Structure 1
Amino acid sequence: MKAGADMKTPGKTLCVFVLLTITKVTRTVGFHRVSATVGNSPVLTCPSTSNLTMVTWKISPKVGGPCTLGYRADQNKTDRTNCSDSMNWKFRPDRDPALKIRQVGLAHEGNYTCEAVATEGNFHRTYHLTVLVPPRLTLYCDDHGNPVCEAAAGKPAAQISWVLESNSTPKEEGHDNGTVTVLSKFTARGTNMTNTTCVVSHPAGNQRESIACRPSKNGFILNVSIILCFLSIITFMAVIYYFKLRSDRLCHKTKPPEASPAHSPQDDTMEVEPYTTYVQKENVIYNSVSDLTVGQNLPQGLSSAT
């Protein structure tokens, strides 16, 4: 058991020595996020060390394929593979292996890794480059006399605010190249301020601009036209109603009374004829009876004349 314990101690010591050696030979110096404004010329540095024997920049841009820049001290030679002229050494790689990007643009966004080999060991440093695009500020008055602030084609999207509080909600429109246009309309009411100030906040720099808007004449004319049209319609309907009411009253006054049914003399004759017939019949019957009575009362041997 004691011999086994003695064997483990040299093994642990060897492992620690190997780990320390590896740490000394290869050192990774973090992951860095950097940003640069479009059009500027940022510089990316390698880990500071002396006695460099070889330096390599490995670049993976957002647009295009990967490229490399290399330097070998033993041959005092540099080489480049698929890198554009905008990416090059800052000065001399034997003195300063930093990388300079001239006139940086959106296409340069991506990862940049420096691998340096020196007598002290190997060193790595990686950058993630983000390009900032300041928006174009435009402030104008719309057709109704309201101030409108536009922050066009910014990256990232700009923040718009007004010196006076406004209840407007900014509208964003994205573009294919990653930029964003933001539009905000000043809609505060009940203010007597003649000048309105728009403030655009952006990582590439803040901007502000003021404007004085007046109610548009076109808008005033349009409103007056709408009111006049509405009044004309009401007046026209009132005139129609007035004449209709007057017409109804005139028709009511001039309406002739209902005529009674015409009385025909023939109707009177028709009404009298039954009575006349009845009287005639009565007279006939009366005469017959009278004749019979007279005949009965006559002396015997006398007969009534027929």
Structure 2
Amino acid sequence: LRRGEISSTMGHSAVMTCPNKTDATMVTWKISPKIGGPCTLGYRADQKKVDRTNCSDRVNCEFRSNQSYALEIQQVGMADEGNYSCEVVTQEGNFHQMYQLTVLVPPRLSLYCDDHRNPVCKAAAGRPAAEISWVPENNSMTETDSHDNGTVTVLSRFTAHSTDEKTVTCMVYHTTLNETKSIACSSSQSDLILYISIALGFLIIITFMAVIYYFKLHGCRLCHKTEPPDTSLTHSLQDDTTEVEPYTTYVQKENTIYNSVSDLTVGQNLP
């Protein structure tokens, strides 16, 4: 019995082969996945027929010209992990080959700036766990989170509080990929300048609106104070004066005549 390990990236195809025997009369693949029940694929050379028991359509036997009797799994998923054994029956005897299939999951990569403007590199749900490093090098903080399906999320935070480098680069190493990403996060000083600029802008707008309101309010008051007098009232007063004047003139004349008679009577000693 020969044993081997094989790995395949999720979504790709995995191929496993039986012992190469030219005089095989029967080949049987027995599959024991970690998730789900077992399945069996059998090939009879005399009938050139494949018998399938509880196996997915993604699992097929490929009986090639070199008599390798390969088993192919299309679009490998996490549920396909498990043990795969092949038995070849010949006139010389039975030969076995066993494989342990491991599914590799590429992580989902992201690079962003946190609330403190520190670069954060994240390799989410990868299998196995990814490794992260930074350029320039620094004492980064790394966190890992294991999931129930066997994948691991790795998060690395660039912790330098101040650096002359405007751009930092995150390098992610995984068995399925090697990738780099770069980002530039503005410093806290730049944020302070931005906040001050925004505050000054709002202050200028509010001050301008207050000045406009002040002049508008006091301008209306001045307009009310300098309003010309009501001409109808003036005409009414003039008319009343005109009506009173004849009576006043008459009274004045009567008083003049009375005074003259009084003076004459006193001068002549008349009763």
TM-score, scaled to structure 1: 0.60
Q: CA contact under 8 A between 1:73 and 1:94: conserved in structure 2? A: no
Q: In the alignment, what sits opposite 1:130?
A: 102
Shift of residue 121, structure 1, vs aligned partner: 2.1
Structure 1 stretches of 5 or more lacking a match?
A: 1-27, 225-306
Q: In the alignment, what sits opposite 2:173?
A: 201
Aligned AA (2:85): T
Aligned AA (1:33): E
Q: CA contact under 8 A between 2:83 and 2:99: conserved in structure 1? A: yes
Shift of residue 151, structure 1, vs aligned partner: 0.3
Rounded to whole Å, the distance in 2 between the matches of 1:112 and 1:212 is 48
Rounded to whole Å, the distance in 2 between the matches of 1:91 and 1:123 is 16
Rounded to whole Å, the distance in 1 between the matches of 2:13 and 2:127 is 18
1:191 maps onto 2:163 in alignment: yes
1:56 maps onto 2:28 in alignment: yes
Shift of residue 222, structure 1, vs aligned partner: 11
Rounded to whole Å, the distance in 1 between the matches of 2:107 and 2:193 is 36
Rounded to whole Å, the distance in 1 between the matches of 2:174 and 2:31 is 28
Shift of residue 220, structure 1, vs aligned partner: 2.8
- 1:205-220 mapped onto 2 (5 Å cutoff): 205-215=177-187, 220=192
Shift of residue 78, structure 1, vs aligned partner: 1.4
Aligned AA (1:127): Y
- 1:1-306 mapped onto 2 (5 Å cutoff): 28=1, 30-91=2-63, 95-215=67-187, 220=192
Q: How many residues align?
A: 196
Rounded to whole Å, the distance in 2 between the matches of 1:68 and 1:93 is 22
Q: CA contact under 8 A between 1:59 and 1:113: conserved in structure 2? A: yes
Q: CA contact under 8 A between 2:141 and 2:158: conserved in structure 1? A: no
Q: 1:143 to 1:217 in 2, by over 3 A?
A: farther
Q: CA contact under 8 A between 1:39 and 1:105: conserved in structure 2? A: yes
Q: 1:222 to 1:211 in 2, by over 3 A?
A: closer
Select the structure that is richer in strand.
2
Query: Identity over aligned residues, as a percent?
Result: 61
Rounded to whole Å, the distance in 2 between the matches of 1:194 and 1:70 is 62
Shift of residue 127, structure 1, vs aligned partner: 0.3
Rounded to whole Å, the distance in 1 between the matches of 2:32 and 2:62 is 19
Shift of residue 74, structure 1, vs aligned partner: 2.6
Task: List per-residue Cα deviations over 1:66-114 (Å, max 9, x = no partner).
Answer: 1000011233321011111111113559944100000001110000000
Rounded to whole Å, the distance in 2 between the matches of 1:168 and 1:222 is 28
Rounded to whole Å, the distance in 1 between the matches of 2:174 and 2:119 is 21
Aligned AA (1:120): E
Rounded to whole Å, the distance in 2 between the matches of 1:93 and 1:56 is 17
Q: 1:211 to 1:222 in 2, by over 3 A?
A: closer
Rounded to whole Å, the distance in 2 between the matches of 1:94 and 1:79 is 21
Rounded to whole Å, the distance in 2 between the matches of 1:32 and 1:219 is 57
